[in-house]
Amino acid sequence: MRKIILSAAAFTMLFSCQNDENTPVAPSTEAIALRNCATQEVLEAQLKADPTLALRMNQIEAFTQKAMLTKRLVNGKIVIPVVVNVLYRTAEENISATQIQSQIDVLNKDFTAKNSDFSSIPAEFAGVAANIDITFELAGIVRKSTTKTSWGTRDAMKSSKKGGIDPTTPTKTLNIWACKIGGGILGYAQFPGGSLATDGVVIDSKYFGLSASNSYPYNLGRTATHEVGHWMNLRHIWGDSSCGNDLVSDTPVAKTANYGVPAYPYVSTCLPTHNEMTMNYMDYTDDRGMYMFTNGQKSRITALFVSGGARSGFGI
Ligand code: ARG
Ligand code: ZN
Ligand code: CA
């Protein structure tokens, strides 16, 4: 098979400052509200530090586009083994097995369209709402006590050398770290193509699964749904720039991140006039405000798991 390799410059073009009309727009300078998803920042730092990462991500993108075009999508079911790595200083951070299983249950519901709020999807978007048809199975829990009060977003929690926990067989296991992140960050993920040593997602213990002590309005376990979305190659719905492109055709263009629970219809200020899909898991709304993926997002995800895909080790 001939490989399509985009230059690093082309890759950067693809992911920055482009809207759907392909008109370059200025990078968003809007103030970052309250909290922020560190995933994009982490990616940008990794791209700076490692010039070969852009190349690997280009190849994944080319493969994704090709797999989508030729419809070489998965027939069998995909089941993702999950190892949860718990780093705790306080008893509260040492989340229970029940709480861990509750997060797996939320992921299973959200990725199979069995979430109870799936029926809240507006008629306008119901036609593109997807059952991703991927399930998750708890394969193990690794616990470690620590004196660290917060871990930040530089992947220290993923390294035993840095006091964290090394990932378990990341080629065929989704590693999730539960720890205190700090800085108002709920969670962050690594996209496909990154180093195996840091592959997986990190969720702050306060927002992990379902627990009475978790912090409203992020207490429905959707931080993990959003971060696993990134881990499965999904971009933010606003494409991380003003009226940007998330590389998914059935998600409407969005101006920027939406917070809270926007009332439907939320009319976009990106033209031509249309409503934003604020209820997509890849927006920034409150947990109860997000309840769908789309068919286009599903196509990107499934492309990862076919033979030759970036996560084909997960076996099908
Ligand atoms: N990484 C994003 C953050 O830290 C996750 C947002 C998830 N949103 C949610 N409603 N749980 O803000
Ligand atoms: Zn995000
Ligand atoms: Ca889109």
Query: Which atom of ligand 1 sits closest to the CA of residue 39?
Result: 1
Q: What is the pLDDT of residues 177-209, one digit of tens each?
A: 999 999 999 999 999 999 999 999 999 999 999
Query: Rounded to the nearest whole angstrom, what is the distance from the C-alpha of residue 167 to the centroid of ligand 3?
Result: 32
Domain 8-235+293-305 is found in CATH 3.40.390.10: yes
**C-alpha–C-alpha distance, residues 118 and 114, integer Å:** 7
Closest residue CA from atom 2 of ligand 1: 37
Query: Rounded to the nearest whole angstrom, what is the distance from the C-alpha of residue 289 to the centroid of ligand 2?
Result: 15
Q: Does the CB atom of residue 310 touch ligand 1 within 6 A?
A: no
Residue position matching structure tokens 């593109």: 128
Q: Does the CB atom of residue 186 touch ligand 1 within 6 A?
A: yes
Closest residue CA from atom 9 of ligand 1: 223
Closest residue CA from atom 11 of ligand 1: 223
Domain definitions of the chain by residue range: 8-235+293-305
Residue position matching structure tokens 């493969």: 63
Q: Give the contacts of 58 (CB within 8 A, at least 6 positions apart).
A: 5, 6, 7, 8, 10, 11
**C-alpha–C-alpha distance, residues 227 and 91, integer Å:** 25
Residue position matching structure tokens 């709304």: 285
Query: Rounded to the nearest whole angstrom, what is the distance from the C-alpha of residue 15 to the centroid of ligand 2?
Result: 14
Ligand number nearest CA of 224 is 1
- 122 by Cβ neighbours in 10 Å (0-12 / 13-18 / 19+) ranks as middle
- pLDDT value for 315: 67
- pLDDT value for 70: 60
**C-alpha–C-alpha distance, residues 24 and 22, integer Å:** 6
- pLDDT value for 65: 80
To the nearest 10°, report the CA torsion of 259, 264, 267, 273. 140
In tens digits, the chain (316 residues) has pLDDT values of: 333 333 333 333 333 333 333 333 333 434 445 566 899 999 999 999 998 999 999 999 988 887 776 655 555 689 999 999 999 999 999 999 999 999 999 999 999 999 999 999 999 999 999 999 999 999 999 999 999 999 999 999 999 999 999 999 999 999 999 999 999 999 999 999 999 999 999 999 999 999 999 999 999 999 999 999 999 999 999 999 999 999 999 999 999 999 999 999 999 999 999 999 999 999 999 999 999 999 999 999 999 998 889 999 986 5
- pLDDT value for 63: 85
